[in-house]
């Protein structure tokens, strides 16, 4: 008998991917320009020129073995050193290459962190609405996913609700700021309040509650401060990826930082390595580790997303939609115009609009619009958003 849990995971697939697949089919039928696919977080902004320069330089200079051979399991020493040095420049820290473990993107970073930090049967708190794969990764680590609603006005962490959800079995909390799906950026005060609650809970425990800070959107912000979480709560592991900041989601490259300021760092890094080994996630792509070495300080190009955000929010306000003002990431979290978000998305589909209903993010009644598409797609979609709203009047 095959593994039924895995069968189930594969058969159910992800709602976001299902909508994306539908969009591809529909584009074949009626033309790409007539389908408004807001499902995936696939950046439309091209990767920076520095990425191409780095690849061309590697192709010209390196041997096949250097280009395509295995790297050490945790990554190339030069890449790990470059990541640590970049963080040190930006956050005034003193990290070293050994504190960085290169991964195949944030999915692997979070999965490895969970396997390293959490034992089967323990609980991991997520802040709802949350990135749907968190539940899959938590349960794959044998742990229990505990959902805690974000503050429903600001979509910051409801720290009192987190405090109430902590049990002796709580092993970790995952946060994701700038947030997918709401676009909220957790403020310093909010993170300090969370740190206080976790520290208070730790007083009565043998092992601290770990914070897993999943930060693939760190650079995608529109002016807000994104505080450095390990400087606020010492038991924090940071998960990162270049999927969004450098528009490289198909290349699968990111990292886990186990800060050397973390009291249990010398045990956690080997556990991360063990998790990567057990999950088969060793050796991030060699060529793209070299790209990271060369482009580690390359700024993310957020201008196009800022423009999309401006055009979309201005128009949706005019049509009567309400939404959370996004400070970061490239998602707009909009109230569905009826209680049932799935029914709303079905109706949106008749206008060729393809947002994602909020149910899979752990809450009812909202939709997520991924505005990392071209500005032209945003503009062309506006009459459809208006016509959709008009059907509810």
Of 183, 189, 237, the C-alpha closest to 210 is 237
Which residues touch 101 (CB under 8 Å, ≥6 apart)? 74, 75, 80, 112, 255, 256, 257, 258, 269, 272, 273, 276
Contact 339, 364 (CB under 8 A): yes
Nearer to ligand PLP, 41 or 74 (CB): 41
Q: How far is the CB of 383 from ligand PLP (least distance, A)?
A: 29
Return d(Cα 15, Cα 21) in angstroms, integer.
Answer: 10
Measured N-to-C along each axis, helices 265-279 and 105-117 cross at an angle, to the nearest 10 degrees, of 120
Nearer to ligand PLP, 106 or 296 (CB): 106
Coil, strand or helix: which one is 201? helix
Nearer to ligand PLP, 216 or 259 (CB): 216
Nearer to ligand PLP, 101 or 385 (CB): 101
Nearer to ligand PLP, 84 or 253 (CB): 253
Nearer to ligand PLP, 37 or 214 (CB): 214
Q: For 115-170, give the DSSP string.
A: HHH--TT-EEEEEES--THHHHHHHHTT-EEEEEEPPTTT-S--HHHHHHH--TTE
Contact 17, 258 (CB under 8 A): no
Return d(Cα 302, Cα 83) in angstroms, integer.
Answer: 21
Nearer to ligand PLP, 108 or 388 (CB): 108
Of 189, 201, 61, 48, the C-alpha closest to 125 is 201
Four-CA torsion 378, 153, 345, 131, nearest 10 degrees: 90
Contact 328, 185 (CB under 8 A): yes
Q: How far is the CB of 30 from ligand PLP (least distance, A)?
A: 27
Q: How far is the CB of 133 from ligand PLP (least distance, A)?
A: 7
Which residue has tokens 């992800």?
14
R_g of the chain computed on alpha carbons: 21
Q: How far is the CB of 116 from ligand PLP (least distance, A)?
A: 17
Q: How far is the CB of 362 from ligand PLP (least distance, A)?
A: 13
Q: How far is the CB of 284 from ligand PLP (least distance, A)?
A: 11
Q: How far is the CB of 196 from ligand PLP (least distance, A)?
A: 24
Nearer to ligand PLP, 190 or 245 (CB): 245
Of 46, 41, 78, the C-alpha closest to 62 is 78
Q: For 11-49, give the DSSP string.
A: HH--HHHHHHHHHHHHHHHH-GGG-EE--S----SPPPH
Q: How far is the CB of 252 from ligand PLP (least distance, A)?
A: 7
Nearer to ligand PLP, 39 or 243 (CB): 243
Applying CB under 6 A, the residues found at the interface with ligand PLP are 41, 105-107, 131, 176, 180, 214, 216, 241, 243, 249, 254
Report residue 135 as tokens.
Answer: 């539940």
Coil, strand or helix: which one is 73? coil
Nearer to ligand PLP, 40 or 316 (CB): 40
Q: How far is the CB of 214 from ligand PLP (least distance, A)?
A: 5
Q: How far is the CB of 181 from ligand PLP (least distance, A)?
A: 8
Return d(Cα 217, Cα 200) in angstroms, integer.
Answer: 29
């Amino acid at each position: 008998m095959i593994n039924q849990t895995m069968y189930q995971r594969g058969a159910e697939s992800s709602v976001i991917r299902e909508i994306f697949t539908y969009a591809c089919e529909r584009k074949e039928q009626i033309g790409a320009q007539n389908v408004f696919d807001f499902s995936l977080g696939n950046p439309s902004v091209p990767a920076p020129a520095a990425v191409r320069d780095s690849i061309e330089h590697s192709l010209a200079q390196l041997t096949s073995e250097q280009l395509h051979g295995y790297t050490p399991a945790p990554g190339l020493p030069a890449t790990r050193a470059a990541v640590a040095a970049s963080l040190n420049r930006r956050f005034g820290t003193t990290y070293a290459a050994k504190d960085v473990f290169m991964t195949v993107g944030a999915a692997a970073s979070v999965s490895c962190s969970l396997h390293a930090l959490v034992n089967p049967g323990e609980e991991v708190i997520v802040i709802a609405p949350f990135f749907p794969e968190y539940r899959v990764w938590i349960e794959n680590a044998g742990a229990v996913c505990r959902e805690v609603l974000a503050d429903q006005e600001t979509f910051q962490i409801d720290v009192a609700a987190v405090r109430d959800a902590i049990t002796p079995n709580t092993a970790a909390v995952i946060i994701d700021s700038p947030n997918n799906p709401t676009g909220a950026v957790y403020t310093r005060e909010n993170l300090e309040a969370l740190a206080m609650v976790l520290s208070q809970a730790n007083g009565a425990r043998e092992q601290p509650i770990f914070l897993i800070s999943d930060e693939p959107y760190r650079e995608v912000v529109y002016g807000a401060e994104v505080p450095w979480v390990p400087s606020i709560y010492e038991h924090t592991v940071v998960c990162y990826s270049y999927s969004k900041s450098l528009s490289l989601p198909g290349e699968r490259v990111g990292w886990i930082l186990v800060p050397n300021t973390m009291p249990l760092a010398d045990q956690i890094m080997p556990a991360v390595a063990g998790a990567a080994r057990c999950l088969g996630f060793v050796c991030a792509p060699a060529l793209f580790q070299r790209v990271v070495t060369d482009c580690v300080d390359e700024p993310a190009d957020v201008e196009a997303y800022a423009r999309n955000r401006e055009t979309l929010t201005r128009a949706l306000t005019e049509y009567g939609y309400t939404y959370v003002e996004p400070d970061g990431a490239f998602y707009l979290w909009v109230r569905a115009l009826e209680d049932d978000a799935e029914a709303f998305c079905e109706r949106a589909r008749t206008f060729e609009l393809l947002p994602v209903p909020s149910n899979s993010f752990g809450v009812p009644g909202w939709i997520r619009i991924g505005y990392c598409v071209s500005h032209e797609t945003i503009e062309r979609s506006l009459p459809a958003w208006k016509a959709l709203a008009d059907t509810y009047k």
